Amino acid sequence: MRNRTGTARAIAEVDDGLAGRVAVVTGAAQGIGAAVASALAERGAVVAALDRAVDVLDKTVGLLTDAGHRAVAFPTDVRDSSDVNRTVAAVEHELGPVDVLVNVAGVLRVGAVVDLTDEDWAAAFEVNSGGVFYMSRAVARGMSQRGRGAIVTVASNAAFVPRQRMAAYAASKAAARAFTRTLGLELAGRGVRCNVVSPGSTDTPMLHGLWTDEAGEQSTLDGDLAAYRAGIPLRKLATPADIADAVVFLASDRSGHITMQDITVDGGAALGA
């Protein structure tokens, strides 16, 4: 959760069209997903928060409802197309037609290609690209019929900048990126916009899991010449709120003429690639 004390009035004065809209967020229990759910709720959206980590999801939704926002937890496994279809039907029955989908759910499997197992590869694709496909397909059917909607997929700068030991993650995120932009082309004539946000190193449990010692953050900022990895020119990690701000913009009416685009939020780590 992020604290926007002192900015609530400014946010309320911005008419971005999100108030009252139904927004589905996957991976909403923690990290970027929780920040996106919070940011959308703060702007008046009715948030359907999806995750398979039920206990953590309930706590996150509880914080939103305690703050006076409208949010409902929908435990869901995005790897299961039947579960996804049931959840989308339940959301539309309980909350109304889905106006916004944000695909955030993701997993990270690291290792050199020669050491990756079949299970590692499958796990990355089941969530990072399969989940995006299942969720997007389920909501796009209704959106295209209604002639409106916005889909935002959170990918990664690893999708277009090679990283050692991240082949499964990078390939699955690249697939999700390409899929979302292609979907945007197919749905553009029906009034549905599809865009991508590609974060770099973000201060989340997933990033912390890559660090092996207390020097992890500094190493991320500095980069690693031996591994052909650039550092972060802005000299700071992204926060989940930084990513959420880009997502909210693409989900809102303020980006009403933007589709099939990818906004990179990585402090310059990809050097503008």
Residues labelled catalytic: 169
List, as one string, the DSSP characters of 170-207. HHHHHHHHHHHHHHHHHHGGGTEEEEEEEE-SBSSHHH
Going from the C-alpha of 160 to that of each of 115, 135, 246, the distances in angstroms are: 22, 23, 19
CA geometry: angle 99, 192, 133, nearest 5 deg: 80
Beta bridge pairs of residue 101: 24, 151
Can you read off the two tokens belonging to residue 150?
Answer: 């916005």
Greatest distance between any 2 Cα atoms in the chain: 54
Beta bridge pairs of residue 82: none
Rounded distance, CA 113 to CA 220, Å? 22
What angle do the packed helices 31-42 and 240-251 form, to 10 degrees?
Answer: 50
98: helix, coil or strand? Answer: strand
Q: Any idea which residue has 């197309």 for tokens?
A: 81
Q: Which of 78, 88, 76, 82 is nearest to 130 (CA)?
A: 78
Q: Which of 85, 84, 136, 79 is nearest to 106 (CA)?
A: 79
Can you read off the two tokens belonging to residue 19?
Answer: 């108030």
